[in-house]
């Protein structure tokens, strides 16, 4: 039952994100209808804006959705485990499908591959070092910035983040960024063989939320009725072993609850602070209510929609080498601010 519910929820969010990407492409071409949800692909900018708000009280009115999405992920993780990664994240959902295809096609062969234990431990250690090293370095660099200079740095680096990402993929389709594309392709191949390889060993956002999963109010607990049948271990596509692990709320767990479904003795339970044995069916319901509710609250308080004017966006697009007819018209309507001259194509 939980598996079907999870597939439905993942499919809904993938559909919404797909529409968001298509709407953003339409916005680039016409200048109309920029979707704020596109900020889900810019988590570093969202975290930067969150730290800037906490340090200075300044709320970014140009990319507020990014901050709200990070805040929603943080709050749901602290109160309700790392469900964003297991139920909502579009990248995780895509990798689940890729892993499913891998299991159905080459799974019988890859399962027989046995690496030497020393090599396995070394490779996992290196990957985790990269994952948490990058995550902690980014967090430290952003948190350590003086509040006074954060708005200035924001204007130079964070303001055009969605445009930079769009430009990257346009350039990639035109034969640029080949090394990066090779790395992405390699990660996809590995995710085809090893379920959620990116989530297990490399995703910095998953590592960031994982640190807060350690202190989540909601916890997975194992009871004494466990018979160590290891069915939960076989069900976990993150490579975890709930029947033997002492720490079930670890940094890698994405709260898919497949281990609970597979346990024949119902030895795995969900516990909330001061409340025992939360019914698993309630988990996705509360998770979605919390996540969507935070976004709805932000919309209600006018802290979601971008306040970037068409003229400003036109200027940013042209600065990044992306030129459409509507951008030329916008720039020809107004005189650029003093000190900012942009050539307007004829």
Tell me which residue of 242, 255, 190 sits closest to 216, measured CA to CA.
255
Q: Report in angstroms the alpha-carbon separations of 8 from 219, 237, 284.
A: 24, 19, 11
| Any domain includes 188 | yes
What's the confidence (pLDDT) of residue 109?
A: 58
User: In this predicted structure, what is the pLDDT of residue 346?
Assistant: 41
Residue 287 burial class via C-beta count within 10 angstroms: exposed 0-12, middle 13-18, buried 19 and up: buried
150 in a structural domain: yes
**Is the residue at 230 inside a domain?**
yes
Proportion of the chain in helix, strand, coil states, percent, rounded to 5: 65, 5, 30
In a domain, 345, yes or no: no
Using 50 as the pLDDT threshold, list the residues of the chain that sit under it.
Answer: 339-346
With respect to residue 336, please indicate whether it lies within any of the assigned structural domains: no
315 part of a folded domain: no
> 194-215 pLDDT, tens per residue?
899 999 999 999 999 999 999 9
Please indicate, yes or no, if residue 208 is contained in any of the structural domains.
yes
Beta strands in 155-251 (DSSP E): 218-222
Q: And the tokens for 244?
A: 């033997």
Of 295, 307, 52, residue with least CA distance to 157: 52
Give the chain's domain count.
Answer: 1
- Separation of alpha carbons 282 and 100, rounded Å: 25
Question: Is residue 338 in some structural domain?
Answer: no
Q: 102-124 burial string, b = 16+ CB within 10 Å, else e? A: bbeeebeeeeeeeeeeeeeeeee
What does DSSP say about strands 218-222 and 275-278: parallel, antiparallel, or unpaired?
unpaired
Could you tell me the residue range of the domain that residue 81 belongs to?
2-308
Q: Are 87 and 258 in contact (CB under 8 A)?
A: no
- Between CA 34 and CA 168 the distance in angstroms is 18
């Amino acid at each position: 039952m939980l598996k079907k519910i999870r597939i439905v929820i993942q499919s809904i969010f993938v559909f919404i994100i797909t529409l968001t990407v298509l709407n953003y492409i339409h916005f680039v071409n016409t200048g109309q209808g920029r979707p704020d949800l596109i900020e889900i692909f810019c988590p570093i900018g969202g975290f930067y804006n969150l730290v800037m708000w906490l340090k200075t009280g300044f709320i970014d009115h140009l990319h507020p959705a990014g901050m709200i999405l990070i805040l929603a992920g943080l709050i749901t993780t602290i109160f309700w485990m790392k469900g964003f990664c297991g139920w909502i994240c579009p990248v995780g959902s895509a990798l689940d499908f890729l892993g499913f295809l891998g299991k159905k096609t080459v799974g019988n062969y890859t399962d027989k591959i046995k690496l030497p234990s020393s090599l396995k431990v070394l490779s996992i250690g290196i990957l985790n070092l990269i994952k948490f090293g990058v995550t902690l370095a980014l967090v430290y660099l952003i948190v350590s910035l003086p509040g006074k200079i954060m708005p200035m740095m924001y204007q130079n680096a964070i303001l055009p983040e969605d445009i930079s990402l769009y430009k990257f993929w346009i350039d990639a389709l035109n034969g640029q960024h080949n090394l990066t594309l090779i790395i992405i392709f390699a990660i996809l191949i590995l995710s085809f063989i090893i379920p959620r390889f990116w989530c297990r060993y490399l995703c910095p956002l998953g590592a960031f939320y994982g640190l807060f999963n350690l202190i989540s109010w909601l916890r997975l607990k194992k009871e004494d009725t466990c018979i160590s049948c290891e069915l939960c271990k076989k069900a976990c596509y993150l490579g975890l072993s709930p029947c033997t692990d002492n720490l079930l709320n670890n940094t890698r767990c994405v709260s898919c609850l497949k281990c609970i479904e597979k346990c024949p003795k119902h030895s795995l339970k969900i516990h909330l602070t001061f409340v025992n044995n939360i019914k698993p069916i309630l988990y996705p319901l509360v998770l979605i209510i919390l996540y969507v509710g935070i976004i709805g609250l932000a919309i209600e308080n006018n802290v979601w929609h971008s306040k970037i004017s068409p003229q400003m966006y036109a200027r940013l697009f042209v600065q990044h080498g992306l030129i459409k007819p509507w951008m030329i018209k916008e720039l020809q309507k107004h005189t650029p601010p003093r000190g900012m001259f942009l050539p307007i194509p004829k």
